[in-house]
Amino acid sequence: MVEMVDIVVKGYRCLRCGHEWIPRNKKEIPRVCPKCKSPYWDKPKKKEVEK
Ligand SMILES: [Zn+2]
């Protein structure tokens, strides 16, 4: 039997569409989300309001 283990890979998550992907070049931050092509994938839609 092969033991199944969880593999944790660091990647990026688009805050606009929720798409997650692993960058080929880890040193370079992607400018746009590969799925929705949004340049603001790393920024939330609305500013967080402090309660
Ligand atoms: Zn996206």
DSSP 3: P
Q: What is the pLDDT of residue 49?
A: 65
Provide the pLDDT for residue 20: 94
Distance CA 47, CA 36 (A): 20
pLDDT tens for the chain, 51 residues long, are 899 999 888 899 999 999 999 988 878 889 999 999 999 999 987 766 666
Please report the pLDDT score of residue 9 as a whole number.
85
d(CA 19, CA 41): 9
Domain boundaries, the chain: 8-51
* pLDDT of amino acid 48: 63
Cα(1) to centroid of ligand 1, in Å? 38
Residues with CB under 5 A from ligand 1 (ion): 14, 16-17, 19, 33, 35-36, 41
Query: Are the beta carbons of 14 and 22 closer than 8 angstroms?
Result: no
